[in-house]
Chains A and B, each alone.
Chain A
Amino acid sequence: MAVATRPPTRPGARERASSSWELWTWFFMRISGIVLLFLVLGHFTIVHLLGEGIDRVNFAFVAGRWASPFWQTWDWTMLFLGLLHGTNGLKTIVEEYVQRPSVRVALKSMLYVSTLVFLLLGTLVILTFDPDQA
């Protein structure tokens, strides 16, 4: 059996966060996690489980959804929070496993640049979507 160990989270641990930025990202992960839980599970249920599931996904299906500002906002929020939540998760993993500073900087730079590119691409696609194009 496991010996008695100190639980990883102790009272007062929050006050000892290394910087206010780290504390802020810690907080962001919790808040965005809760919001994403509803957005992603809702999206998954509607698009993948109801009706014919992903059999019905085509251009007309996307056009029907993005005709409504409600679903545009839903999808964009999911894009934004999902990317930032995932990026911060990957950043944590890089910092924990990659010890050489040069490799660390390179990986984190790649991560941040791709996050920015994906965010711009996704935003552009939602905003410029034209349902009438032939």
Chain B
Amino acid sequence: MARLSERVGTAYRGGQGQWSWALHRITGIMVILFLYAHILDTSLVAFGPEFYNRVVGVYHHPIIRLMEIGLAAAVLFHALNGIRIIIIDFWPRATQWHRQMFGVVVGLYVMLIVPAVYFMGRGLVEEMQQRGWF
């Protein structure tokens, strides 16, 4: 069967190049949407300790904890893949090894995200236990 790109004539060619590009966009959008929300919630410090503490009380909720892990996953990918993009931009010959470079991005990503998920996951599990979810 012909590749999708041959059948429908799209410019997307698959492989590490396309997927790193798509993930960079998706994680970028996730991070900027989070930033908007984070500016709004932090600006509530202006209303004083009682109000702010009540608001950030929701940070304990397991759903927020899951979103925290998702944010870390998105930010870290965007950061590491961003370095790969910068290296290729300033040193175009690196395109020869772009597959290997993406491999390095994935390797570093796994090495860093596993301990981060462990630390945040502990808090998540505790919150879920306190709520009697399991």
How far apart are B3's CB and chain A's nearest CB, in angstroms? Answer: 9
Given contacts A48-B120, A59-B53, contact A134 B48 (CB under 8 A): yes
- Give chain B residues whose Cβ lies under 8 Å from the Cβ of A44: 72, 75
Are A93 and B79 in contact, CB atoms less than 8 angstroms apart? Answer: no
Given contacts A60-B49, A121-B43, A129-B45, contact A9 B89 (CB under 8 A): yes
* Complex Cα gap A8–B92 (Å): 10
Are A58 and B56 in contact, CB atoms less than 8 angstroms apart? Answer: yes
Considering the complex, which residues of chain A in the window 48-70 have a beta carbon less than 8 Å from any beta carbon of chain B?
Answer: 48-49, 52-55, 57-60, 62
Q: Is B36 engaged at the interface, CB distance under 8 Å to the other chain?
A: yes
- Give chain A residues whose Cβ lies under 8 Å from the Cβ of B4: none
Contact of B32 among A37, A57, A89, A133 (CB under 8 A): A89
- The 0/1 profile, CB within 8 Å of A marked 1, for residues 79-104 of chain B is 10011001011101001001000000
Are B35 and A82 in contact, CB atoms less than 8 angstroms apart? Answer: yes
Q: How many residues of B contact A (CB 8 A)?
A: 42
Q: Is A90 engaged at the interface, CB distance under 8 Å to the other chain?
A: yes
* Complex Cα gap A86–B32 (Å): 6
Are B72 and A93 in contact, CB atoms less than 8 angstroms apart? Answer: no
- The 0/1 profile, CB within 8 Å of A marked 1, for residues 36-59 of chain B is 100110110110110011001001
How far apart are B50's CB and chain A's nearest CB, in angstroms? Answer: 8
Given contacts A2-B14, A54-B68, A118-B39, contact A128 B46 (CB under 8 A): yes
23 pairs, CB–CB < 8 Å, chain A vs chain B: A2-B14, A5-B13, A30-B90, A33-B79, A33-B82, A34-B83, A49-B116, A52-B123, A53-B123, A55-B59, A57-B56, A58-B53, A58-B56, A59-B45, A59-B53, A60-B49, A79-B39, A86-B28, A90-B29, A114-B36, A121-B40, A122-B43, A133-B48
Give B residues with C-beta under 8 Å from A: 13-15, 17, 25, 28-29, 31-32, 35-36, 39-40, 42-43, 45-46, 48-49, 52-53, 56, 59-60, 68, 72, 75-76, 79, 82-83, 86, 88-90, 92, 95, 98, 116, 119-120, 123
Given contacts A7-B98, A118-B35, 17 further A-B contacts (CB under 8 A): A2-B13, A8-B17, A9-B88, A41-B75, A44-B72, A49-B116, A54-B59, A59-B52, A86-B28, A86-B35, A90-B29, A114-B36, A122-B42, A125-B43, A125-B46, A128-B46, A129-B46
Give A residues with C-beta under 8 Å from B: 2, 5, 7-11, 13, 30, 33-34, 36-37, 40-41, 44, 48-49, 52-55, 57-60, 62, 79, 82-83, 86-87, 89-90, 93, 114, 118, 121-122, 125, 128-129, 133-134
